[in-house]
Amino acid sequence: MPISSTEGTREHDLAALVETYSRLLFRVAHSILRSTTEAEDVVQDVFVRVLEHHDTLPAVRDLRVWLARIAWNLAIDRRRRIRPGQLDEAFAQMLAAKSLPADVALDEARRISLVLAEIERLPKAERHALLLSAIDEIETAGIAQILGRSESAVRALLFRARARLRKRLAKGDRT
């Protein structure tokens, strides 16, 4: 059965969106989920949503932020179903340098796990702002739109999150 011109255009548009935004959406999801497989699933789910809402796309003012917000929300939902430390241990081991001796790499993975645990202990709003700020393509204005806050509120959240994290890590305070 031949594809109508509207369907062909829709497929072309979707292919362009996938090409343009997949890496960003992956980074957004991965910042929360810390799992390649889980993040890839979120990216696919985002584009399923795009297909479901294709007719309303022309009304979206900032497609990049709209897509990032969808990825963010889907990843948050997915993270709620996963035990908090379940993904962090594997993620920390993945980040530890492979070229280091095993004992040094293990020590590095423990330090990374400690940082991840401290990030998880941050108040939710601070944690979310901090995770989004680590994604290069998303500036304060985009973070504000994704989180539904003002830019000044996001700057304050980032300041508090970084100060709290710095203090906890410097003291080794786990209380």
Q: Domain limits of the chain?
A: 1-82
Q: Tell the residue number behind the tokens 């929300």, with chain if given.
A: 73
Pick the CATH number of 1-82 from 1.10.357, 1.20.1640, 1.10.4160, 1.10.1740: 1.10.1740
Reported confidence tier of residue 175, pLDDT bands at 50, 70, 90 = very low
Three-state DSSP at 156 gives helix
Three-state DSSP at 148 gives coil
H-assigned helices in the chain: 5-33, 36-52, 63-80, 86-95, 102-121, 124-133, 140-147, 151-171
DSSP code of residue 3: P
Torsion of CA 86, 115, 74, 43, to 10 degrees: -90
Tell me which range, 11-15, 99-103, 150-154, 165-169, is most confidently predicted by mean pLDDT: 150-154
Instruction: Check: pTM over 0.75? Answer yes or no.
Output: no
